[in-house]
Amino acid sequence: MRNDKVRWRALLVLLASLALVIGVAACGDDDDGSDDGGGGGGSTEQIQSNPDNGKVAITVGSKNFTEQLVLGEIYAQALEAAGYKVEKKLDLGSELIAKKALETGEISGYPEYVSTALTSFFGVEPGQVPSNPQQGAAQARAEFEKEGLTSFAPTPFASANAVGTLKETADKLGLTKVSDLKGKSQQLTLYGSPECRQRVDCLVGLEGPYGLTFKEFKPVDIGLRYSVLDKGQADLSILFTTDAQLAAEADKYVILEDDKQVFPAGNVVFVTDRATVKKAGPDYQKTIELVQSGLTEAVMQELDARVDIDKETSEKVAGDYLSEEGYIGG
């Protein structure tokens, strides 16, 4: 009687709110078509599969650390959505190996940092690397074209090498910028990637322009750059400014300021050979530049975090990025 009525009304309200919630959830997913994803002015249109592209085989390569693996996956999956026959050869190695693979035709293209390209391939002094992304990308492109290669437009985000350490170490030794290491570095061990030994924006730059000598430089695989700090084995480690760990554990790690401009930041450009560009048609460049337009620094760092911290695979993270941004239909 009265109790039954109350119960019926409660049930009705419950069902109605349930329906509302379900409706909002279902509608909330259909986000494509809205502009300006990622706060970087990138457009989010869906990639259309072009059957003509099916005759073209493209091999996407990448270098051997998380950010590169994610980028490689993003480009590979995007090109696949555009209808190309895509093969992946990710995790090739460092920049010289990747470039070699490109030159020998082992891969069709890979993502490279403008700063790395200019300093490692084309002998530009780190201090001379343009800070304007468009300028840097144009300079890199001009240099690549001298070698039968070419590169596309730059990503919104840029990344740089950095000397990093635990906050406690920095506080204890009073380190805020790299120059502060002068006089102290002889007692400290530095860990970096194997190729750091020969790069002007790495150990060579620290020993040259900064004039530092270290107690020991130990080359380790890039994937270990944080664990060596955590375990107390390394006093200093070479990190990347877009690393997820820096944002997620902001009070644990500290990057020393690069006051002598030895570690230039570089946006990523997709480097490829001109033959593939001609063969693949306009969709090649269009697709690449489309999907990377959503990669702001925040987004790239988030994607890196999903792999390094949440332990998802780069393949899944890339796929999620493409569908969350609406490049690939959900």
Distance CA 25, CA 33 (A): 18
Take residue 26 and report the two structure tokens written for it.
Answer: 């279902």
Q: Which is nearer to other proteins, 136 or 205 (CB)?
A: 205
Taking the complex as a whole, how short is the minimal distance between the CB of residue 311 and other proteins, in angstroms? 4
Q: Which of 36, 82, 61 is nearest to 286 (CA)?
A: 82
Q: CB of 109: closest distance to other proteins in angstroms?
A: 16
Q: How far is the CB of 244 from other proteins (least distance, A)?
A: 9
C-beta of 83 vs 92, nearer to other proteins? 92
63 in Cβ contact with 93 (< 8 Å): yes
Smallest gap from residue 48 Cβ to other proteins (A): 20
Binding site for other proteins (CB under 8 A): 31, 34, 36-40, 44, 69, 89, 91-97, 101, 104, 106, 120, 191, 194-195, 197-200, 204, 218-221, 223-224, 226-228, 231-233, 248, 294, 296-299, 302-303, 305-307, 309-311, 313-314, 316, 320-321, 324-326
Minimum distance from residue 205 beta carbon to other proteins (Å): 9
Nearest C-alpha neighbor of 157 from the set 75, 97, 243, 30: 243
Of 38 and 83, which has the nearer Cβ to other proteins?
38
Question: Which of 76, 83 has the CB closer to other proteins?
Answer: 76
Q: Are 189 and 235 in contact (CB under 8 A)?
A: yes
Judged by beta carbon, residue 53 or residue 295, the one nearer other proteins is 295
Q: What is the distance between the alpha carbons of residues 110 and 116, in angstroms, rounded to a whole number?
A: 13
Beta strand 266-273 pairing with 149-151: antiparallel
Rounded Cα gap, residues 121 and 123, in angstroms: 6
